[in-house]
Amino acid sequence: MIAMGAMDSMFKDFKLIAGRPVYIQVQDYMKHLIIKSALQGGQKLPSTRELSTLLKVSRNSIIAAYAGLEDDGFAYAVPGQGNFVAMTTPGSVTVASRPMNWQDHLSGHARLAEELDLMKRGIRAEKGTISFTSIAPDESLFDLDNVKRAFMDRMAVEGNVLLNYGYAKGYKPLMDYLRLYLEHKGVDMKGKDMLITNGFTEGLDLVLSALDHRHGSVLCENPTHHTAIKNLKLHGFGITGITMERDGIHLGELEQALAEGEYDCAYFVPSYHNPTGIVMSPEKRQGLMKLMAGYDIPVIEDGFNEELRYSGSHVSPLIATAGAGNSVIYLGSFSKVLFPGLRVGWVVADEELIYYLESLKRARTIHTSTLDQSILYQYLHNGNLEKYLKKARAEYKRKYELTLACCKEFLPYTALSGDGGLHLFVAFAEGFKTRELLEACRAQGVIFTPGDQFYTDGGGQHTMRLGFSRVRDAEIRKGIQIIGRAATRQLMG
């Protein structure tokens, strides 16, 4: 039994927080004291009346807390005598062992993943920094009420179903919706099927796992999406990058590469190409697919942000351009368009490939969050995408034009690309180092993404990507002005 004075000081740091049952808070607190050995095995606990006074909570809460402690093996009751700390509490009996040196147990794959992890090599920005590194959506545009309504609507329809196991392929109402959505983009869904994934990234990872590696080589645009470069490398592929022109990939260079090499697949980003922001022209899409039709090479199409296109005229994705052809694997997602936090993407491809991808998906993550899928479905069904896109396109277009104007006014660039979307790509004179520019700008509170990380061949050291989606108007102007001054100084010096 502890003296009341000792207990006074022992229990005085207990603080109630809102929204969590009081008895659970008491229980947590007592467990903490027991684990830290502030209360020891065999020691008598304060009576429920005493503890109620000490912690200033109701005696019922203490009674419930003591019952919980007993259930969890932290305490025991002796009838007529009170409650005692258990002699052997969780964690009190342990086995001594030599510490393991984890470096001895890591795979080369894990080391490579860490080495290629840009988030671990990235630029740390202090608070208040103007950051052009993100191309995530502007969360102030989010229509939270529609998301809440979608959740409540769907929970009312089939809450029990949503919270239990779903199917590896995906949540059927969402797949039905997306099938129609893709048909409206001109995709011939006959003989094709769909797999829902945890966003674009899982889709790409599964597809790269499913493809044969006999040539160990992949074709893509140069520069291209850095996550794709990382995952291609992690899957052991060598990368042949094809130069980008103002309207998309250089077809002549592609033709030559196709004639000279052997490839397991090709990866293209026809809409809002990352990092250049270029939308491949309809003519080039036709040309590209005509060229690829002569080769037996699967084409992975990254549908990145095609929904954000501002212009009225329709541009078909490659998978639509391919018509009844079955060589294109389309990776779609609304992540950047709607809500990245909902991890939902989809793969559309020949039904035979999807059949194998389904098994891979099941082995990796069983299935994609049904809640995420069902909220997305209901949000789409309720007609919110159309309304949201109207608002988002207008806002991003405004920001795009502002960013473009600021670049033209302040930056000593040699080339500038970006047909809209969420970012622009800037090239300075050959020999210019944007990593040096970044150092100078960071010291003045402005950061951006150096372009070299998007290149497949170590090039692009004179380039940078400016993501404007999450930067406020005044800061776009101020930030680009600072970059411009630093770049001019660097060019002169």
30-89 binders of a copy of itself (CB under 8 A): 31-32, 35, 68, 70-74, 86, 89
**Residue with token string 């080589």:** 217
Per-residue contact string for residues 417-456; x = within reach of a copy of itself by CB under 8 A: ----------------------------------------
- Residue 280 or 480: which CB sits closer to a copy of itself? 280
Site for a copy of itself in 167-186 (CB under 8 A): 168, 180, 183-186
Binding status of residue 29 toward a copy of itself by CB under 8 A: no
- Residue 338 or 486: which CB sits closer to a copy of itself? 338
DSSP three-state, residue 348: strand
**Residue with token string 């008895």:** 23
- Residue 237 or 413: which CB sits closer to a copy of itself? 237
Site for a copy of itself in 258-277 (CB under 8 A): 264-265
What's the farthest any 2 CA atoms get from each other in the chain?
91
Among 353, 407, 466, 476, binds a copy of itself (CB under 8 A): 353
Q: Which of 334, 343, 346 is nearest to 304 (CA)?
A: 334
- Residue 173 or 451: which CB sits closer to a copy of itself? 173
Q: How far apart are CA 290 and CA 293, in angstroms?
A: 5
Q: How far apart are CA 197 and CA 302, in angstroms?
A: 14
Site for a copy of itself in 134-153 (CB under 8 A): 136-137, 139-140, 142, 144, 147-148, 151-153
- Residue 168 or 441: which CB sits closer to a copy of itself? 168
Q: DSSP letter string over 219-259?
A: EEEES--HHHHHHHHHTT-EEEEEEEETTEE-HHHHHHHHH
Among 366, 394, 415, 429, binds a copy of itself (CB under 8 A): 366
Whether 223 contacts 244, CB under 8 Å: yes
Q: How far apart are CA 33 and CA 150, in angstroms?
A: 44
Whether 240 contacts 456, CB under 8 Å: yes
Among 61, 368, 403, 456, binds a copy of itself (CB under 8 A): 368
Among 250, 381, 433, 472, binds a copy of itself (CB under 8 A): 381
Binding status of residue 352 toward a copy of itself by CB under 8 A: yes
Q: How far apart are CA 352 and CA 346, in angstroms?
A: 16
DSSP three-state, residue 20: coil
Among 5, 42, 80, 99, binds a copy of itself (CB under 8 A): 99
